[in-house]
Amino acid sequence: MLTFLVCLTALVIAYFTYGRYLERVAAIDPARSVPSETLFDGVDYVPMPRWRVFLIQLLNIAGTGPIFGAILGAAFGPVAFLWITLGGIFMGAMHDFLSGVMLVRNDGLSIPEVAGRYLGTGMRQFMRLFSVVLLVLVGAVFLLSPADILSGMVPSVPHTVWVWLILAYYFVATLLPIDKIIGKIYPIFGVALILMALALLGVLLFGPYRIPELTTLANAQLDPHSVPIVPTLFITIACGAISGFHATQSPLMARCVRNERECRSVFFGAMISESIIALIWAAVATAFFGGAHALAEALAANGNSAAWAVNIISNTTLGIAGGILALLGVVAAPITSGDTAFRSARLIVADIFRIEQRTQWKRFAIALPLFVAGYLITRVDFTVVWRYFAWTNQTLATIVLWAVVVWLFAAKRNYFVALLPAVFMTFICASFVFVSGQFFGMENRPAAYALAGAATAVVLCFILLKLRRNGRSNP
């Protein structure tokens, strides 16, 4: 319990300490104009109250990520608590906050356009394609997973009907102004997400469960050699620590904040909240099954299904309320993230071709092919493609971190707050390529890590060259 409480306290304190320090690093200026007032269009650029923007941002970046990833990551052992805490503070929250401010100061443009400004035209073109494909894939997956669950809950309604109903909702929500559905309904789901975490926290604090302490960094997985902590843990737990998907969602709220001083609560605060949710789920998963190794055995016996774990934990610990909790976690949350994934894809395409989005038929013209592509993907077996999503997600986060480094360097600010995490995540993503069976699967681990180190050095040299050439230009 002590390890858990220390990590939980550290996350809360970080919001008031490290968050304020990063505000000074970013030179937050309450007098600076923001996109919601300079580019107001009544559709995407719409000022909304801080509390509403925070809750929408939390729900957009959360989905099932901090729940499923935390449960799967907890099978590595209490070391997962450490990664969620330190990663959430010094990587995830820093990544979300600084990239969020960067987006606000670049007219709330989509992340490929902003990253391209600091990393070059080639990276802009790569990020455009990469981000749209990733978002359509995310939208399609978050279309299928809730449809699968709903068809199991209500067998009388065919799976295809649920797919079409969710798809229809996505289409409408993506086209409507952001303050109509997303601005009104999503804060309610955001509150529910927080309440379910608090309910589980109460179970941990006052229930008959024992949370393992961090006494060793040993890997508790059934086959530690095939899934080493470095780099697998850092890929498995993404949304609870650091996630590139967040950078694709932040432009939505970067267009809605009313003042730069709101950025800490909206971006840094939402990520800290997500880390707290992930920490609670990692703790309750290990405590419920009697330890990390027992959790790994239970998951292996049930197809490594985090959804199964959510269902049994929720219903057992919270009864009827747990059933509602499970429904929210594995149905409502992915639906809301799928909606905003498609919306973000529409905005990226609009930014690429400079298509204004005030006119409804122009929004329709962009959204239609995206939804057609998303639906076609649902007809394909994702198993192979989805295996690479977690790595792709962390790779995107790494690229954004490097863009933040260049931005801070150009502004003559402390860029080391982003440089060190960028180097670390570059090594993690590179080593996963060489160590994981999904890619090369090298059995010679020292050689694999050496290659990853060499790849990291190459990227670092490229960035240093970039800084030398144009880093001192005005941001």
pLDDT tens-digit profile, the chain (475 residues): 899 999 999 999 999 999 999 999 999 999 999 999 999 988 889 999 999 999 999 988 886 778 888 999 999 999 999 999 999 999 999 999 999 999 999 999 889 889 988 888 888 888 888 888 888 877 877 777 778 777 767 788 888 898 889 888 888 877 778 777 777 888 888 888 888 888 899 999 998 899 999 988 889 999 999 899 999 999 999 889 999 989 988 998 999 999 999 999 999 999 999 999 999 999 999 999 999 999 999 999 988 888 788 878 888 888 877 667 666 666 777 787 788 888 888 888 888 888 887 777 888 888 888 888 877 877 765 545 556 778 888 999 999 999 999 999 988 999 999 999 999 999 999 999 999 887 888 989 999 999 999 999 999 998 888 787 764 444 4
Quick one: CA dihedral 256, 262, 264, 269, positive or negative? negative
Structure tokens at 471: 């880093």
Are 264 and 19 in contact, with CB atoms under 8 Å apart?
A: yes
CA distance 455 to 459: 6
Alpha carbon distances (Å) from 218 to 5, 35, 472? 21, 48, 44
Closest-CA residue to 270 (of 65, 104, 58) = 58
In the CATH scheme, what is the code of domain 2-382? 1.20.1740.10
pTM of the model: 0.89
Distances (CA, A) of 443 to 167, 217, 387, 436, 453: 43, 21, 20, 9, 17
Output the pLDDT for position 385. 56
First to last CA, the chain: 46
Q: Considering only CA atoms, which of 460, 146, 101, 178 is closest in space to residue 340?
A: 178
Q: Rounded distance, CA 195 to CA 243, Å? A: 23
179: helix, coil or strand?
coil
Cα distances (angstroms) measured from residue 79 to each of 48, 74, 105, 220, 432: 39, 8, 37, 10, 18
CA distances from 313 to 80, 152, 217, 326 (A): 19, 18, 26, 9
> In whole angstroms, how large is the CA radius of gyration of the chain?
21
pLDDT at residue 397, rounded to an integer:
94
* Cα(36)–Cα(45) distance, integer angstroms: 5
Query: CA distances (Å), 5 to each of 185, 201, 283, 318, 447, in order?
Result: 32, 11, 10, 21, 38
133, 339 contact by CB (below 8 A): no
Query: What is the rounded distance in angstroms from the CA atom of residue 167 to the CA atom of residue 473?
Result: 45
Position 348, amino acid: I
Residues in the chain: 475
